[in-house]
């Protein structure tokens, strides 16, 4: 029997996707040392195989019945490749529910085709742009990344407008955190331009959020903090948006916040 989790409809809608571990070596100089030893290649393959065996042992063959011939996700997510962004937080089965796009810095334009598919060809009503605290891509874009590979430089170059909109002086970590949120706003703006007609027709809502495992927003480590809905970045106005109507006031207050003014 598949384990079920009690969640509200919005929580399901805002649930995020199956995340594959990815920690770019290019950002090693910008990241803290890992808290645990890194597994060997052999141990990693063993863990993946054993993990799949555990999954199939807890989900019988009927688990796959609903998506044998197609997918019907309710949510499209654009998030960062960072391995710390994961699905356990959301307590929801991602199978056939979440269409995920991952890249350096959770960018829309660098994965436009994939986002188009989720928004235009699948029945998703929410496009969630999900940034995260301590984003290595943002910190790298704030500094000198000229020594990186061609591919990494190309993806960091597209973050330049975000960095240019932020402060150039002051404490680094504070600027970094604000730029993470500014990037979410920037990506929401890009999505609103791409899918203007669907948003105007109320067929799509673009939600921007930060997965805050550093407790930068003062709501607790690991919180999903909504920072933008359809371009609105003022917390009090976000709280009154109709897409949040199935959450109670306490849930809304604990999941809406802002560190930086919108773009």
pLDDT surpasses 60 at 246: yes
Residue 79, C-beta contacts closer than 8 angstroms, at least 6 positions apart:
16, 17, 19, 85, 100, 101, 102, 106, 128, 129, 130, 131, 132, 211
Taking only the tens place, the pLDDT of each residue in 192-235 is 999 999 999 999 999 999 999 999 999 999 999 999 999 999 99
Which tokens is 54 given?
Answer: 């555990």
Among residues 129, 63, 130, 131, which one has the least CA distance to residue 97?
63
Average pLDDT over residues 171-183: 97
Which tokens is 257 given?
Answer: 């916040």
Q: Examine residue 43 and state whether it is found in any structural domain, yes or no.
A: no
Taking only the tens place, the pLDDT of each residue in 109-159 is 999 999 999 999 998 999 999 999 999 999 999 999 999 999 999 999 999
Residue 125 sits in a domain whose CATH number is 3.40.1050.10
Q: Is 228 helix (H, G, I), strand (E, B) or coil?
A: strand
pLDDT surpasses 70 at 14: no
Q: Examine residue 258 and state whether it is found in any structural domain, yes or no.
A: no
Q: How many domains does one find in the chain?
A: 1
**Boundaries of domain holding 164:** 9-29+69-253
> Backbone phi, then psi, for 80, in 5-degree steps?
-80, 155
Look up tokens 């079920």; give the residue: 4
> Backbone phi, then psi, for 103, in 5-degree steps?
-160, 175
Taking phi over 0 as left and psi of -120 to 50 as alpha, with beta for the rest, 143 belongs to beta
Q: Examine residue 63 and state whether it is found in any structural domain, yes or no.
A: no
Q: Examine residue 48 and state whether it is found in any structural domain, yes or no.
A: no
Q: What is the DSSP letter of 32?
A: P
Higher pLDDT, 93 or 223: 223
Give dist(CA 125, CA 13) in Å, integer: 8
Q: Examine residue 242 and state whether it is found in any structural domain, yes or no.
A: yes
Q: Examine residue 52 and state whether it is found in any structural domain, yes or no.
A: no
């Amino acid at each position: 029997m598949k384990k079920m989790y009690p969640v509200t409809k919005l929580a399901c809608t805002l649930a995020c996707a199956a995340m594959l571990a990815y920690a770019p070596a290019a950002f090693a100089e910008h990241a803290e040392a890992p808290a645990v030893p890194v597994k060997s290649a052999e141990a990693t393959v063993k863990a993946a195989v054993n993990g799949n065996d555990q999954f199939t042992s807890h989900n019988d063959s009927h688990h796959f019945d609903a998506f044998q011939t197609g997918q019907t996700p309710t949510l499209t997510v654009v998030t960062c490749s960072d391995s710390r962004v994961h699905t356990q937080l959301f307590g929801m089965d991602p199978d056939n529910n979440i269409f995920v796009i991952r890249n350096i810095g959770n960018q829309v334009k660098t994965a436009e085709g994939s986002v188009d598919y989720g928004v235009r060809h699948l029945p998703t009503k929410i496009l969630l742009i999900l940034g995260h605290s301590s984003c290595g891509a943002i910190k790298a874009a704030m500094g000198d990344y000229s020594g990186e590979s061609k591919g990494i430089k190309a993806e960091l170059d597209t973050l330049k407008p975000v960095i240019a909109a932020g402060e150039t002086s002051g404490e680094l970590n504070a600027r970094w955190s604000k730029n993470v949120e500014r990037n979410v706003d920037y990506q929401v703006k890009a999505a609103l331009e791409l899918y203007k007609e669907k948003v105007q027709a109320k067929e799509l809502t673009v939600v921007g959020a930060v997965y805050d495992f550093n407790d930068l927003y003062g709501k607790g480590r690991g919180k999903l903090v909504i920072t933008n809905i359809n371009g609105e970045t003022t917390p009090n106005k976000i709280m009154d948006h109709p897409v949040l109507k199935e959450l109670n006031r306490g849930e809304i207050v604990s999941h809406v916040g802002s560190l930086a003014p919108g773009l």
